[in-house]
Structure 1
Amino acid sequence: MCTFILAFQAISMILFSTMASIKGIMCQFKYFVRLQKIIIEEEAMLLAWNDQKTKEIYTKHTKYSKKLSKFFLLAAGLAASVLVEMGCTNSYKVYKMEKRVNVSLEKPLPLKLWYPWDKNRYHILTIMSQFLDIAVTAFYVAVAQIFTTTLLIFLRAKLQIMQHQFRNFDRNFNNRDIITNGVETVRMLCVKHQNLIELINSVNEALRNIIFVEFSMSSVMFAAGILQVIAGQDLLLNIEFSISMISFLMLLAWNANEIREQSSKLAMALYESKWYEQKHNTKAIIHFMIIGCQKPLSINIGPLGPITVDAAMSRIRLAYSYSSVMSGEK
């Protein structure tokens, strides 16, 4: 393998570990804990509503979130298992070789890391330490991905529920006769809309740095995986790693993009309501709400603008360009 591919592999491993550490540390900030409490309270209010359609929307998104969480855990666990299996297999081959030739050989390790002791002499200790590092890193990656994606799915569910409420604002959602007072009902929904905007802005502020780190590093890591596949190095591991990187990035972009898409449908949901049956002052409030809903809400990649599927695809194309140029230099 060429020297630059080895260097690229080392850079990729450093970036991946750094990204996992940064995301894991950020998710433990007090700001995130406070955000989790707000979302738990919001969820309790959603489940307390007696409207069946609202519960159906939320249940659908809950099931979707659970499926993605299982996928993230499976993908991270599979990558860690492949890496551990490779370490065990390579070590066993070297031990068999040592017995056959009766010469001490350099022991292979899954990760090329520095240790303050002789790695050959204390090979068992070193490789067990690496297995622990691999397990912890995989856990942090999966949990951070689950946390980020679950937040986005929750916001998407809230937006779809708000569309339902806008479209049917003349209905009784909380066992109260709100039909007799259209102005109060619309004002209540206007307050809920403002609260949802504040919640999305809070999530955006909390996630923008995490997402910026992921988008910034993903191209280099994906390109490194492709290069190693082209070079025929650790095919199973690098194929699984590349597929996981693409899946994580595209799922993140898809769910973030859905917030933008669903928020843009709020104005149409109001227009599809029975606003024409309301009094003049109620119609005026609805008119201003429709104007306010024209601007879509979005989750941003730090200072680089909103997350979209096109933004994720551009990262993948950039990684492919990296790998094409580097493989041409072999």
Structure 2
Amino acid sequence: MLIFSISAFIAVALIVANGLERHQIEKYNQYYNDSLPKPTLFPLYYGNIDTEEYGTMLVILNLLCAVTIIFISTSAQCLYLTCIIFATSMLKALQIRFAKMLDEDGNILETIKNLINEHQKVIMFVQELNDTVKYLMMMDYLLNAVNIAGVVIILLEASDGIEVASTLFYAGRLITIVFALGWTSNEIQIQSQALADAICETPWWEQRRDTQKLLHMMIVRAQCPLAITIGPFDEMTIRSSLTIMKAAYSYGTIMSQKYR
């Protein structure tokens, strides 16, 4: 909801800024009897269409583009975050079930085998998710640093209040996404390792030898944390989010010096 709200505010601010600019140019054309073209919200190619004659249609087209961009961008980010949160929730549920497995009626050994199968499904889900998005994560990691640095440069040169507000919220959106990715990815590692603690807190020593062996295997496996990686490189954590911010600061410093 936070990402969607920030994205919606950015779109509204851009639309208002574009409307004010079009109004100012219209007043200028009337006063000086000029025919300066009115800017559109997005630099779309309109072919041989007369932008003055079909101005209303082009404004509606730009509004539709803005709504579509908000929906696609926010859905793409939230879909990935939801997949990570789903895996984290499954790991938390396994911790609770392991802690209460001795309170359940029936065969304890069969219950543990079912929990092990569910744990393996979570492991496979995280591994497949990581294999699918790790290179996209690497591109996102690099582009976010450049985008944040570029937004800072634009913010330093902005003069209009609406432009400053939209730029600030765009920077806030980028930073929110960066730390949301880092936090949710970090939670997978924490919760996957916490599963071993949940098993150790049960009176496993009171069980039969075959049951103890299964629990020992689960403890060893849970001590190898699940992780989302940045391409073939490091794991995505809060530390990685801070590294992005440091890189953005370095890029912004270099870009501002070159711009001057």
Using structure 2 for the length normalisation, give the TM-score: 0.91
- Give the match for residue 20 of structure 1: none
Asked if the contact 2:3/2:176 (under 8 Å) is kept, the reply is: no
- The separation in 2 between residues aligned to 1:84 and 1:255, in whole angstroms, is 32
1:162 is aligned to 2:94: yes
Residue type of the alignment partner of 2:165: L
- The separation in 1 between residues aligned to 2:95 and 2:20, in whole angstroms, is 55
The counterpart of 2:3, out of the listed 69, 72, 77, is 72
The counterpart of 1:296, out of the listed 217, 225, 238, is 225
- Give the match for residue 265 of structure 1: 194
Asked if the contact 1:119/1:126 (under 8 Å) is kept, the reply is: no
1:151 is aligned to 2:75: no
SS of the residue corresponding to residue 264 of structure 1 reads: helix
1:93 is aligned to 2:24: yes
- The separation in 2 between residues aligned to 1:94 and 1:153, in whole angstroms, is 48
1:247 is aligned to 2:176: yes
Go from structure 1 to structure 2 and tell me whether the alpha carbon gap of 1:77 and 1:119 turns closer, same or farther (over 3 Å shift): farther
**Percent of matched pairs sharing the same residue:** 25
- The separation in 1 between residues aligned to 2:62 and 2:233, in whole angstroms, is 36
Deviation for aligned residue 1:125? 4.0
For residues 164-212 of structure 1, give each alpha carbon's deviation from its aligned partner in whole angstroms, at most 9, with x where no partner exists.
122222122xxxx22xx33222222222211221122222233334433
- The separation in 2 between residues aligned to 1:320 and 1:125, in whole angstroms, is 41
Query: Which 5+ residue runs of structure 2 have no aligned equivalent?
Result: none
Using structure 1 for the length normalisation, give the TM-score: 0.72
What's the Cα RMSD here?
Answer: 1.9
Query: Which 5+ residue runs of structure 1 have no aligned equivalent?
Result: 1-69
Go from structure 1 to structure 2 and tell me whether the alpha carbon gap of 1:98 and 1:199 turns closer, same or farther (over 3 Å shift): same
Asked if the contact 1:300/1:307 (under 8 Å) is kept, the reply is: yes
Q: Which moved more, 1:131-140 or 1:108-117?
A: 108-117
Q: May I ask how many residue pairs the two structures share in their alignment?
A: 255
Go from structure 1 to structure 2 and tell me whether the alpha carbon gap of 1:320 and 1:117 turns closer, same or farther (over 3 Å shift): farther
- The separation in 1 between residues aligned to 2:48 and 2:13, in whole angstroms, is 26
Deviation for aligned residue 1:113? 4.4
Alignment of 1:151-230 (within 5 A): 151-172=83-104, 177-178=105-106, 181-230=107-156
1:103 is aligned to 2:34: yes
Asked if the contact 2:149/2:252 (under 8 Å) is kept, the reply is: yes
Residue type of the alignment partner of 1:161: A
Asked if the contact 2:40/2:59 (under 8 Å) is kept, the reply is: yes
SS of the residue corresponding to residue 102 of structure 2 reads: coil
- The separation in 2 between residues aligned to 1:251 and 1:205, in whole angstroms, is 20
Go from structure 1 to structure 2 and tell me whether the alpha carbon gap of 1:291 and 1:119 turns closer, same or farther (over 3 Å shift): farther
- The separation in 2 between residues aligned to 1:236 and 1:119, in whole angstroms, is 32
Asked if the contact 2:11/2:70 (under 8 Å) is kept, the reply is: yes
Residue type of the alignment partner of 1:108: P
For residues 54-81 of structure 1, give each alpha carbon's deviation from its aligned partner in whole angstroms, at most 9, with x where no partner exists.
xxxxxxxxxxxxxxxx222211111111
